[in-house]
Chain A
Amino acid sequence: MNQLDFTGKGTEYFKIWIVNILLTIITLGLYLPWAKVRTRRYFHANTHLDQNSFDYHATGKQLFISYIISVVLLIIYVTLSRSNPILSAVFAGILVIASPWIIWRSIKFNLGMISYRNVRFGFNGKLAGSYINFLAYPIGLVLGFALVIAILVGVLGSILGSLLPILITLLVLSAYPAFFAFLNKVTNNYFIKGASFGQNNFSTNLEFKPFFFIILKGIGLGLLITVGALAILGLLAYLIIGAEQISNLPGQLINIEQSAQPSGFILASIVLIYSLFLIIGVYIVSYLKTYNRAYIFSKTRFDETATFHSNMHPSELFRIHITNILLMIATIGLAYPWVKIRSYRYLTETIAVNAPNGFAGYVSQTSNEGAIGEELGEAFDIGGIGF
């Protein structure tokens, strides 16, 4: 097993980052595509496997046109969402219908721009697959579930009586994790089975059950921690400020919208509860990410022989996320380059690859795709599929 190795440095990236921002400001944003290319090249070219590096090949010019289109669309979207609800819904609808195409183009373009040892990655997934996995399944599942609930209400409504709401609640609660587990399965299968390096393909056979259990465990863990934390907090509050103020709290929280000046005590409790949920949320995200990745890697093969392994640990990922957030707050964002380097280092250096036949003898199958889908995906934050 060989681990990936990352040689990027926070200070070095800080200089690249700040100059990128400066030039972007001076050019009123026009430099952004070139800034992006510099950043990506810095990260990819500093990533190594077996002493050989990856690289990123897109040029600023390639990204520029789609960048302009996406900025215009973004401005239209944000303006509409703040002024005209009907038109904004129509616009959002068009975007939803176009999104599988954008995702598909984005994956194709981005993978095609990455190389390892002079050979490009690629993506051969079909557009139809993108429509099935990113549009038909999510919408179909929700509609199907709604239909089941409607039939249940119609048929069993009179028989079950007051038990019906409980049944529906249980159904919804168990359908929610199943929904995400299923989407995890189909989208990851689509992405990995379509991916290639040189003339050979990646393969995988992901199933529903492991994803489902990971989500169930994650939710269970989250509930457990939340209940525990709230119990401790409640006890502390009782000991420190007494029961009377606590019983007033919900009333005051409801009135906070109308009250011109909420008291310091209420503000403190809001901040406390907000950070508590943030911390729990970060932990659950770290947990899900770690185990989902471990499962996906364990099932993935390249060229039938190469295998992958994830050494990520949820508490370590959690520690990095939390300290990153604190660093960002303490430095009002100036620590961003170090934060990014830290997370990227952990995410890459926990990837191990076992390729018994080595990587000699692979040949690029390049076909240069246009960049339009790529930048569109970035502007609306839906191309979030990566290593």
Chain B
Amino acid sequence: MIKGKHYSARQTDFCLAELHIENDSVQLYSQGNVQISALYNQLNISDRIGNVSRKVVFPDGSVFETSNNDAIDHLIKDNASSLGFMAFVHVLERNMAMIFVSLFITAAVVFSGIKWGVPAAGHIIAANLPAATNKALSTNILSFMDEHLFTPSQLDEKKQQQIRQHYTNSLIPLYEGQQATEFKLHFRLWGDDKQHSIANALALPSGDIIVTDRFIELAESQDEIDMVLLHEMGHVVKRHSLEQVIEGTMLAVVVSLAFGDLSAIADTGIGVGAFLISSFYSRNHEIEADQFAYQYGLKAGIDPNKLTTILQKMELDMKLQLCSENPEKEANCLTDSTTLSGYFSSHPNSLERANKAKHFHDCFIQGLKHCP
């Protein structure tokens, strides 16, 4: 016998009632009389969730509601051939060991999904999209940057011509990829005047590689320029921009599905998390581009250490520029840095980079053209 309330069909009116069970049929008693009797398989019983009250719907649409969940479970167990999937879900929910297993699996899946799953999926999708998608990403970017960031290069024509020729004749042939990306070199001045310009090199998915005047000035040898150009080619060949779009999309979709019902305030916290994750991804891209440069640099017989040298020079130059804007504290400006900021930066940790460089440098010293 199960105690509960009996609601008339689709109405708020109810009276206290008792449900009596006999084998595969049930009788509903209220006010001392049998109100309804029905067979078990005519009933519609709601799933168990925690300890919320259960509802048994009779064929006439009236509803018996009870908080005696265990008795209802018993009724189902005695009659149904299978308990149904939701009963299995409830068994999971009650089992403490299963809860810990779920917790562990969830944590492991979330962690490895972020660390390996998203980049791997991004990599596969990016590699399989047609070359046109990659190109479409960079439409108008160069002209936009020309308008807002760059001024025309002040490097003399001869020097430009010489670098370009060396690039087309010696570097591009090194990479014999299946897809014929058209690599093109552009010279620009980044900044308003020569004294305060920025040393940098960047690559667009279309194969356009932009080098700044200050960078050419800083480079002390052709090898240094070549290594940076190879690094940028690495970004293009590995389709990093496309990967970034795909990875960002996946993160955003998963986050908005998982946390869709949180308030805007909690969203800001999630935004910071997503930012940290995506800078972790772009660090991976930098490392991959380094690897590309080392590999093909070795093929051309360039010392891998040249990449480290020129990158350090560019970073130092950037710092000097910034420090010179506050001359009074220039002395400690250069040493002032924290390890924490490493997490915010898209540049790989210098130690990680140095190890990679050393590995390839060892190969170089042994005169190898290929490094395992």
> Is there contact, CB below 8 Å, between A25 and B265?
no
> Is there contact, CB below 8 Å, between B260 and A75?
no
Is A325 in contact with chain B by the CB < 8 A criterion? Answer: yes
Is B102 in contact with chain A by the CB < 8 A criterion? Answer: yes
Is B93 in contact with chain A by the CB < 8 A criterion? Answer: yes
Of the stretches B9-17, B71-79, B161-169, the one at the interface is: B9-17
Is A93 in contact with chain B by the CB < 8 A criterion? Answer: no
Kindly supply a per-residue 1/0 record for chain B positions 239-276, scoring 1 wherever the CB is within 8 Å of any chain A CB and 0 otherwise. Answer: 00000011011001100110011010110110000000
Tell me the bound Cα distance from A38 to B109 in angstroms.
22
A157 to chain B, nearest CB (A): 30
**Which residues of chain B are within 8 angstroms of A19 by Cβ–Cβ distance?**
89, 92-93, 98-99, 102
Q: A264: which of B47, B253, B340 is its contact (CB, 8 Å)? A: B340
A119 to chain B, nearest CB (A): 5
Which bucket holds chain A's interface residue count?
35 or more
Main secondary structure of the interface of A (DSSP, over half): helix
Chain B contact residue count (CB 8 A cutoff): 62
**Which residues of chain A are within 8 angstroms of B325 by Cβ–Cβ distance?**
251, 255
> Is there contact, CB below 8 Å, between B326 and A251?
yes
Kindly supply a per-residue 1/0 record for chain A positions 69-93, scoring 1 wherever the CB is within 8 Å of any chain B CB and 0 otherwise. Answer: 0010011001100111000000000
B68 to chain A, nearest CB (A): 14
**Which residues of chain A are within 8 angstroms of B14 by Cβ–Cβ distance?**
117-118
Kindly supply a per-residue 1/0 record for chain A positions 1-44, scoring 1 wherever the CB is within 8 Å of any chain B CB and 0 otherwise. Answer: 00000001100111110110111010001001000001001100
Tell me the bound Cα distance from A21 to B258 in angstroms.
9
CB-based nearest B residue for A41: B49
> Is there contact, CB below 8 Å, between B329 and A38?
no
B109 to chain A, nearest CB (A): 5
> Is there contact, CB below 8 Å, between B49 and A260?
no
Q: B269: which of A41, A55, A261, A325 is its contact (CB, 8 Å)? A: A325
**Which residues of chain A are within 8 angstroms of B252 by Cβ–Cβ distance?**
78
Is A227 in contact with chain B by the CB < 8 A criterion? Answer: no
**Which residues of chain A are within 8 angstroms of B12 by Cβ–Cβ distance?**
116-119, 198, 359-363
**Which residues of chain A are within 8 angstroms of B55 by Cβ–Cβ distance?**
55
Is A278 in contact with chain B by the CB < 8 A criterion? Answer: yes
> Is there contact, CB below 8 Å, between B49 and A328?
no
Kindly supply a per-residue 1/0 record for chain B positions 25-69, scoring 1 wherever the CB is within 8 Å of any chain A CB and 0 otherwise. Answer: 000000000000000000000010111110100000001010000
> Is there contact, CB below 8 Å, between A362 and B265?
no
A23 and B89 in contact, given A118-B14, A378-B260 (Cβ under 8 angstroms) = yes
Q: A79: which of B49, B52, B245, B256 is its contact (CB, 8 Å)? A: B245
A21 and B10 in contact, given A78-B249, A79-B245 (Cβ under 8 angstroms) = no
> Is there contact, CB below 8 Å, between B11 and A22?
no
Is B341 in contact with chain A by the CB < 8 A criterion? Answer: yes
CB-based nearest B residue for A340: B261
**Which residues of chain A are within 8 angstroms of B102 by Cβ–Cβ distance?**
18-19, 21-22
**Which residues of chain A are within 8 angstroms of B105 by Cβ–Cβ distance?**
22, 25
Is A282 in contact with chain B by the CB < 8 A criterion? Answer: yes
> Is there contact, CB below 8 Å, between B10 and A366?
yes
Is B218 in contact with chain A by the CB < 8 A criterion? Answer: no
Kindly supply a per-residue 1/0 record for chain A positions 344-367, scoring 1 wherever the CB is within 8 Å of any chain B CB and 0 otherwise. Answer: 000000000000000111111010
Tell me the bound Cα distance from A53 to B329 in angstroms.
68
Q: A267: which of B13, B65, B253, B340 is its contact (CB, 8 Å)? A: B340
Is B345 in contact with chain A by the CB < 8 A criterion? Answer: yes
> Is there contact, CB below 8 Å, between A263 and B265?
no
Interface residues of B in 189-235 (CB under 8 A from A): 198
B123 to chain A, nearest CB (A): 16
B89 to chain A, nearest CB (A): 6
> Is there contact, CB below 8 Å, between A259 and B103?
no
B122 to chain A, nearest CB (A): 12
CB-based nearest A residue for B96: A15
CB-based nearest A residue for B85: A34
Is A158 in contact with chain B by the CB < 8 A criterion? Answer: no
Of the stretches B291-299, B300-308, B315-323, the one at the interface is: B315-323
Is B81 in contact with chain A by the CB < 8 A criterion? Answer: no
A263 and B337 in contact, given A82-B248, A119-B10, A119-B12 (Cβ under 8 angstroms) = yes
> Is there contact, CB below 8 Å, between B49 and A32?
no
Is A285 in contact with chain B by the CB < 8 A criterion? Answer: yes
Is A140 in contact with chain B by the CB < 8 A criterion? Answer: no
Tell me the bound Cα distance from A216 to B53 in angstroms.
45
Tell me the bound Cα distance from A359 to B13 in angstroms.
8
Tell me the bound Cα distance from A55 to B52 in angstroms.
9
Q: A248: which of B109, B248, B326 is its contact (CB, 8 Å)? A: B326
Tell me the bound Cα distance from A189 to B289 in angstroms.
58
Is B7 in contact with chain A by the CB < 8 A criterion? Answer: yes
Tell me the bound Cα distance from A45 to B52 in angstroms.
6
Is A281 in contact with chain B by the CB < 8 A criterion? Answer: yes
Is A242 in contact with chain B by the CB < 8 A criterion? Answer: no
Interface residues of B in 331-370 (CB under 8 A from A): 336-338, 340-342, 344-345, 347
Is B154 in contact with chain A by the CB < 8 A criterion? Answer: no
> Is there contact, CB below 8 Å, between B89 and A83?
no
**Which residues of chain B are within 8 angstroms of A22 by Cβ–Cβ distance?**
92, 102, 105-106
Tell me the bound Cα distance from A264 to B347 in angstroms.
18
Is B371 in contact with chain A by the CB < 8 A criterion? Answer: no
Tell me the bound Cα distance from A251 to B50 in angstroms.
57
Tell me the bound Cα distance from A258 to B10 in angstroms.
66
Most chain A beta-carbon neighbours within 10 Å: one of B52, B65, B322: B52
Kindly supply a per-residue 1/0 record for chain B positions 134-152, scoring 1 wherever the CB is within 8 Å of any chain A CB and 0 otherwise. Answer: 0011000000000000000
Tell me the bound Cα distance from A378 to B258 in angstroms.
11
A-B contact pairs, 18 of them (CB 8 A): A15-B50, A18-B102, A22-B102, A32-B257, A71-B257, A78-B253, A79-B249, A117-B12, A118-B7, A118-B63, A248-B326, A252-B326, A260-B345, A263-B337, A267-B341, A321-B265, A363-B12, A364-B11
The 8 closest A-B pairs by CB, nearest first: A45-B52, A364-B10, A118-B7, A22-B102, A264-B338, A261-B337, A117-B12, A362-B12
Known: A260-B347, A263-B338, A363-B12. 4 other contacts (CB 8 A): A46-B52, A118-B11, A260-B318, A361-B13
Q: CB within 8 Å of A: which residues of B?
A: 7, 10-14, 47, 49-53, 55, 63, 65, 86, 89, 92-94, 98-99, 102-103, 105-106, 109, 136-137, 198, 245-246, 248-249, 252-253, 256-257, 260-261, 263, 265-266, 268-269, 315, 318-319, 322, 325-326, 328-329, 336-338, 340-342, 344-345, 347
